[in-house]
Amino acid sequence: MAIKSYGTMAVDWEQRIDFDRLRHERLSRASTLLKQSEMGALLCFDMNNVRYLTATHIGTWAQDKANRFTLLPQDDDPILWDFGSAAKHHQLYAPWLGEGRSRAGISLLRGAMSPEMGRAEDVARKIKIELEQRGLDKEPLGVDIAEVPILFALQKEGLRIVDGQQLMSEARVIKTEDEISLLTHAAAQVDAAYDELYRTMKPGMRENEAVGLVSKVLYDLGSEYVEAVNAISGERCNPHPHVFSDRMLRPGDPVYYDVLQSYMGYRTCYYRTFVIGYGSNAMVDAYKRCREYLDAAIELVRPGRTTGEIASLWPKATEFGFPNEEAAFGLQYGHGVGLAIWEKPVISRLVSLDHPGEIKPGMVFALETYWPSTDGWSAARIEEEIVVTETGHEIITRFPANDLMVAGHHYYTATGPLPTTRTHEPVMSERVVDLVEAVRG
């Protein structure tokens, strides 16, 4: 399968991303796995699963509400209960849902609706009625996530609840052609954001200003949601705090970023590391080590290999300052990327050595590595997003990262430009050495 980038408009003269095909193939994958399972139906509250099944979206403000829910019965199309007027909007603009399958429904809003209001019982009764009509009420009901009162209300209706999240994770682990195109486009948006950031970084710029610049570039390019821009600089690089601050960039600083955003729901997780003005030898060495671990992992990515083989290439936690793999989790790491930032497969020494998974064509995942420098405060962080092809892999993150890049370098002396690799210590010329030795006497 050729990985292609497209314009964002639909046109009559070129076949681009086919959203009808995307909707059909996603639902078909989930329905096929449901048919093969013990479950009579699948009930989803996870908004990414709801979008996967129904191709509906009402804004990322709803991501943490656990309010929207959809029921996928065996041998049937999904039924969607949505927030207020959104249900009517879907009736007008989402014809693929079918007649009568977009309905208003309100759950607990993560506890904002208190128990005596009866919302949990209302949700459970809605589901029970649909299952009874299809003769599925005695079959196990798969649920992905649910508020505890709703879970209890479903059980009170006599429904047997089983884990439905694993089924949806399995459905989503292999991406369709259109999903891969959307992931590639999302990565291309971050390519552009990094280019603008690289041109702008200089001493005095603050981490939060970098976050603002990246967010503007992404939204201007059509991003649906900038979930986070981790901006980490200077002494904050080691240990890794995973959150930006208002710290100013200084000459010689390392700075790394992770850009998490989505285009049409499809995400990025995309680290890059820079130095400002110049880098120390210790930082250059750390970057090289970080890149070597990443390159070794990428080289193994092809169908038939396992997540355990990749994880085995990475250093043990104790080799870079952590007591165990749980304490170092996420620093030498791989994870699927799709409608969520972290999907299957997970690649980590914490779990993959004992529970390896097969790498298959159509998987899309990010590989990210970290290495602290010997100076005790700087560190490198690099990440690439990879599509597994029939014969190997393709990297879809394209901003340069093979070598440590220097941003904001414009320092000149009477004898020419300052070198981009040096220490913070003064240069000891022969005359300086002679003067110091004379004092030491």
Separation of first and last alpha carbons in the chain: 74
Q: What angle do CA 64, 39, 42 make, to 5 degrees?
A: 25
In this predicted structure, the answer to whether residue 354 has a pLDDT above a threshold of 90 is: yes
pLDDT at 428: 65
Cβ 381 vs Cβ 271: under 8 Å: yes
For residues 75 and 35, is the Cβ–Cβ distance under 8 A? Answer: yes
Q: Buried b / exposed e across 369-384, counting CB within 10 Å, b at 16+?
A: bbbbbebeebbbbbbb
433 pLDDT band (50/70/90 cuts)?
A: confident
The closest alpha carbon to 72, from 31, 20, 124, belongs to: 31
Token pair 């004992």: residue: 354
Structural domains in the chain? 19-173 (3.40.350.10), 177-417 (3.90.230.10)
pLDDT for 8: 85
Q: How confident is the model at residue 425 (pLDDT cuts 50, 70, 90)?
A: low
| Global model pTM greater than 0.85 | yes
pLDDT in tens, 119-173: 999 999 999 999 999 999 999 999 999 999 999 999 999 999 999 999 999 999 9
Q: Identify the three-state secondary structure at position 111.
A: coil
d(CA 386, CA 270): 11
Q: Report whether pLDDT(399) > 90.
A: yes
Digit-coded pLDDT (tens) for 56-67: 999 989 888 889
pLDDT at 434 over 90: no
| CB distance 123 to 148 below 8 Å | no
Helices 207-220, 177-200: inter-axial angle, 10-degree rounding:
140
Least confident residue range of 40-44, 103-107, 415-419, 426-430: 426-430
User: Could you read off the pLDDT of 97-113 as tens digits, one per residue?
Assistant: 999 999 999 999 999 99
Q: Cβ atoms within 10 A of the Cβ of 244, count?
A: 21
Handedness of CA 366, 371, 376, 379 (dihedral sign): negative
What is the mean predicted confidence (pLDDT) over 10-34?
96
pLDDT tens per residue across span 34-50: 999 999 999 999 999 99
Q: Answer yes or no: is pLDDT of 413 > 80.
A: no
Q: Please give the Cα distance from 251 to 162 (Å, whole number).
A: 55
Q: Is the pLDDT of residue 337 over 70?
A: yes
The DSSP symbol for 313 reads T
For residue 376, the model assigns a pLDDT of 94
Beta bridge partners of 370: 381
Q: For residue range 278-320, list pLDDT tens digits in order.
A: 999 999 999 999 999 999 999 999 999 999 999 999 999 999 9
Q: What is the pLDDT of residues 83-99, one digit of tens each?
A: 989 999 999 999 999 99
Band of pLDDT at residue 1, cut at 50, 70 and 90: low
| 3 state DSSP class of 136 | coil
- Asked whether the beta carbons of 347 and 159 are under 8 A apart, the reply is no
Residue 69, helix vs strand vs coil = strand
Determine phi and psi for 428, rounding to 5 degrees: -95, 95
pLDDT at 426: 62
Q: Which long-range contacts (CB under 8 A, 24 or more apart) does 295-300 make?
A: 297/334, 297/347, 297/367, 297/369, 298/367, 298/384, 298/386, 298/393, 298/395
Contacts 24+ apart (CB under 8 A), 127-130: 127/43, 127/71, 127/154, 127/157, 127/159, 128/154, 128/157, 128/158, 128/159, 130/41, 130/71, 130/73, 130/79
Rounded to whole angstroms, the Cα distance separating 21 from 18 reads 5
Contact 310/368 with Cβ under 8 angstroms? no
Q: Where are the strands (E) in 158-241, listed by range?
A: 161-163, 225-233
